[in-house]
Amino acid sequence: MSKDLSWSGAADIAQAVANGQTSATAVIDAALARIDTLNPQLNAFTAVTAERARAKARAIDAAPDKNALPLAGVPFAVKNLFDVAGLTTVAGSKINRAHPPAAQDQPLIARLEAAGAVLVGALNMGEYAYDFTGENVHDGASRNPHDLTRMTGGSSGGSGGAVAGGLVQLALGSDTNGSIRVPSSLCGIFGLKPTYGRLTRARSFPFVSSLDHLGPFARSARDLALAYDVMQGPDPEDPVCAQRAAEPAMPLLARGLDGLRIATAGGYFRKGAFPEALEALARIAKAAGASAEIEIPEAARARAAAYVITTVEGAALHLDRLRKQANDFDPAVRDRFIAGAMVPATTVVQAQRFRRWYREQVLKLFERYDAILVPATPCTAPKIGQQNFTLDGVDMPVRANLGLYTQPISFIGLPVVAVPVALSPLPIAVQVIAAPWREDVALRIAHALEQMGAAAAPRPNL
């Protein structure tokens, strides 16, 4: 029996493989064929691991108990800053191409594969993750499946494009200031930035240790929860990964909105918002029964502090490369890092002190509310190469402002699910923000919104 499973969910594919309705080999062959056909248009993949994927699929087909594999046969791909055994971890750069291949998979890859998922390749990203567009001067821009002339958003651009375009059911990306949530928004898919320290970052190329998170993308909240549950758990190889046992979210999804107190945040999170961002927020807030509008105090200052920490820590990481190989950087990234290297260190200390204060204030809000809703991006996907957008007659730079609403949230490591709203002609997402370690709350809300039809990952015309 051959049925096109490109648009089926991860859970449905796993069930079909476990039931014998299809084989992992058939699923993976179809995914690889689809990638072969569509990647020239989408430019989501920078490497396709076809041989490895087929071997893994055969192993799954030979497994005696496929019901024990919650992701049996599900194709997934990872941003190319994740170590994949035998591939060089390029992290969107030219410079890293000279590094030796990775010896071992990043642990989240290993955990997904242990659950039966099949890695099919590595995905395009903004150079060294210092990017909100998904464009890359070395590998070309990732293109938005909903409109190929538009950006996917970044820096996990290929992750957004691959999932939104039906090439894979699941993708992994990273989020420092918005790099999961921005492509989720512009590509119209679900993305989870977990609590800082929830998922192991071992064997991934870093950007800003203070702010880096890894997390999944999917086309449904259920698939997001499924992937997330499989990936959880401590990792002694990552000193930042919390010593917390896995806290499965899947069993809690069915609780829906029951008993949850949800508010929207205004003020800063309305400034610079295009009508689509406000429309999406209004629809989600109404469906979620958001009872109040609150203010997140000093959000603008939080964004400023995150900006300072980002540029300085990033510069420190790359200092030696800036000394020896400056010409091999994307010039836009290079000049930001050079400037970052020159920023007085006292500014970072001040930013980290402010961070503790801000965290305490925001956590007080979570005494009264279980979740807070804000837009994910100010606008839908700009054109590839677009430098500015105009709102109310005011010209604003695209790159810096795409992360306006995401940055104050990741600054203090709160878990967020980006839920897509299928506006026409382009989708846009809303951030469902929960208290630390309460990914279950954000996922429950996302799932409920999807069940109600308020949130959905629209299918592109490809």
Q: Which residues participate in catalysis according to the annotation?
A: 79, 155, 179
Residue 212: CB minimum distance to other proteins, A? 13
- The minimum distance between CB 331 and other proteins, in angstroms, equals 7
Least distance between other proteins and beta carbon 205 (Å): 21
Question: Which part of the chain contacts other proteins (CB under 8 A), choosing from 59-67, 299-307, 371-379, 430-438?
Answer: 299-307
Verify binding: residue 304, other proteins, rule CB under 8 A.
yes
**Interatomic CA distance for residues 215 and 130, integer angstroms:** 17
State which residue, 291 or 352, has the beta carbon closest to other proteins.
Answer: 352
Q: How far apart are CA 119 and CA 168, in angstroms?
A: 9
Q: What share of the chain is helix, strand, coil (3-state, %, to 5)?
A: 40, 15, 40
The neighbour count for residue 147, using CB atoms within 10 Å, is 17
The residue type at 115: A
Residue whose CB is less far from other proteins, 282 or 322: 322
Beta bridge partners of 85: 102
**Token pair for 436:** 């630390």
311 binds other proteins (CB under 8 A): yes
Residue closer to other proteins, measured from CB, 230 or 308:
308
308 forms part of the interface with other proteins (CB under 8 A): yes
- For tokens 């390749």, the residue is 121
Cβ(401)–Cβ(268) below 8 Å: no
Q: Is the dihedral of CA 441, 444, 450, 453 positive or negative?
A: negative
Using CB under 8 A as the binding criterion, the count of chain residues that bind other proteins stands at 38
* Residue among 346, 338, 344 nearest 318 (CA): 338
Query: Which of 94/359 has CB closer to other proteins?
Result: 359
Among positions 63, 260, 294, 300, the unique one binding other proteins when judged by CB under 8 A: 300
- Indicate the residue among 76 and 268 with the shorter CB distance to other proteins: 268
Check: CB of residue 28 under 8 Å from CB of residue 58.
Answer: no
CB of 409 to other proteins, least distance (A): 15
User: Among residue numbers 397 through 416, which ones bind other proteins (CB under 8 A)?
Assistant: 400
Site for other proteins in 54-83 (CB under 8 A): none
Query: Which residues touch 422 (CB under 8 Å, ≥6 apart)?
Result: 188, 456, 457, 458
Kindly state the tokens that stand for 202.
Answer: 């071992």
Query: Of 36 and 237, which has the nearer Cβ to other proteins?
Result: 237
CB–CB of 156/130 below 8 Å? no
Binding characters for other proteins, 319-358, by CB under 8 A (x = yes)? x--xx--x----xx-xxx-xxxxxxx--x-xxxxxxxxx-
- CA-wise closest residue to 155 among 90, 223, 200, 102: 90
Q: Quick one: which of 138, 128, 169, 173 has its CA closest to 152? A: 173
Q: Where are the alpha helices (DSSP H) in 207-298?
A: 221-231, 275-288
Q: Which stretch binds other proteins (CB under 8 A): 101-109, 244-252, 281-289, 300-308?
A: 300-308
Tell me the per-residue interface mask from 357 to 376 with other proteins, x by CB under 8 A, - otherwise.
x-x-----------------
Question: Does residue number 298 form part of the binding site for other proteins (CB under 8 A)?
Answer: yes
Residue whose CB is less far from other proteins, 149 or 352: 352
Residue 178 in tokens: 């918005």
Residue ranges that bind other proteins, judged by CB under 8 A: 210, 298, 300-301, 303-305, 307-308, 311, 319, 322-323, 326, 331-332, 334-336, 338-344, 347, 349-357, 359, 400
